[in-house]
Amino acid sequence: MATPDELQATIDALVQKGKGVLAADESGPTIAKRFKTIGVESTEENRRAYRSLLLATPDLGRYISGVILYEETLNHRADDGEPLPQLAVRQGIVPGIKVDAGKIPLALAPGDEITQGLDGLAERLKGYKQQGARFAKWRAVYNVSDTLPSRAAIEANAEALARYAAVSQEQGMVPIVEPEVLIDGDHTLARCAEVTQAVLHEVFRALTRHRVAFEHMLLKPSMVVPGKANALQATPEEVASETIRVLRRAVPAAVPSINFLSGGQSPVEATANLDALNRQGLQPWQLSFSYGRALQEPALHAWCGRPANVRQAQEALLKRARLNGAASVGAYGADMENAGD
């Protein structure tokens, strides 16, 4: 049985002012799609080389406190033979692991989805912990329309997130709870706020039911934004105002940090919106980031699979990490995008 001290030590390492979490846990199909945009085949060696360059980025630990890895990456080594989780630790970055098994259609609920992966989770967590992981992540997704998500989807995904979080804490792993209200569609800002509030309310009801300690978990929600097909897009100030309003209604103050996902926002949008959130005044939680594509995209396109481009790719990653670190304390400005490092 895990001790509260063990979980608190991981929280202390992850929740640091001016730092966030790098999501590098793309599944096989997802990273294949990303690689396709740069004309690189998704072989195991290419995946190893790419994730190695991310974790080896000099000074990355100045702005990144944790990294979410894919299971395959736990077994990978850098060019010099160092295990990648160990490389992260040497950078001052806590290694974590994606533990869900992806989403499938929810039975008898057209348009809704449910995340699977609870079977055997405790045993898998024990193995991941031995490989160096100290926290875990589980993602639930919610499609949005006038009728979606259904009540069944909201309740079923909340139950799965809570069961995962309880098992994680029991095994001494801090759970990142990720309920993602998808940006796909033409829904309004108000509809996104309505769905997000309902989702978060149900998630915390389920977490309470399963006796999950809020102090020893992180929340990774989506920001409240209109669907990307909606003609009326929101300013960073509007996104921040609506997001804070929903969070204050639904998220207990005991949660130490809310690390937003980028969810299809561009790198610049994700940074600007995070900065606006941190300019809304003092909140009971730290407001930071856990971005995947919004941190990695410039680095991926700088790399293009070529060893000669590694340094350039690392500089691109470090720049986005630095800008998001500034945004996480409300100190980002658009003029920083083109300023020299």
Residue 315 tokens, joined = 């500089």
Residue 68 tokens, joined = 């979410």
Give residue 340's pLDDT.
59
Give residue 202's pLDDT.
98
Contact present, 290 and 94 (Cβ < 8 Å): no
Residues labelled as active-site residues: 178, 220
Split the chain (341 residues) into runs of 10 and give each run's mean pLDDT: 90 98 96 97 98 98 98 95 97 98 97 98 98 98 98 98 98 98 98 98 98 98 98 98 98 98 97 98 97 98 98 98 98 88 51
Backbone angles phi, psi at 116, to 5 degrees: -110, 170
Domain boundaries, the chain: 4-337
Closest CA to 124 of 138, 105, 113, 141: 138
pTM of the model: 0.97
Architecture of domain 4-337 in CATH? Answer: Alpha-Beta Barrel (3.20)
**235 CB-contact burial (10 Å; exposed 0-12 / middle 13-18 / buried 19+):** exposed
> CB-side exposure of 283: number of CA atoms within 13 Å?
27
Contact present, 172 and 129 (Cβ < 8 Å): yes
Residue with tokens 């920083």: 336
Distance of alpha carbon 256 from alpha carbon 19, whole angstroms: 14
